Amino acid sequence: MAKKPLTCPVCKKKFSYSAKTNPFARQSKHMWSKHKPYMLRKQKAGKRKAKSRVTQLDKELQWTDDMIIHSLQQAGI
């Protein structure tokens, strides 16, 4: 099976495979050196997306906190 080269999404430069090189590392290094604003935008978008996503664990911890506060209020503390 022929190995398909990775392509930079910004400038379409191709990164081919070799036994000695990792194409993902080479592409990442290229992206940060040549397209830094693009990479920063992608990072910030990921942070916004992660921040807006509430996980099941967050819901359970919030519920637990609410129950503790409720029991403290009933005890008059």
**pTM of the complete model beyond 0.75:** no
Per domain, the residue ranges of the chain are: 6-75
pLDDT at 2: 55
> Encoding tokens for residue 58?
């967050």
35 vs 28: CA distance, rounded Å: 10
Tens of pLDDT, residues 9-67? 999 988 877 666 788 888 889 999 999 999 999 999 988 887 777 777 788 888 899 99
62 vs 68: CA distance, rounded Å: 10
CA-based radius of gyration for the chain: 23
Mutual orientation of helices 36-52 and 23-34 as an angle, nearest 10°? Answer: 100
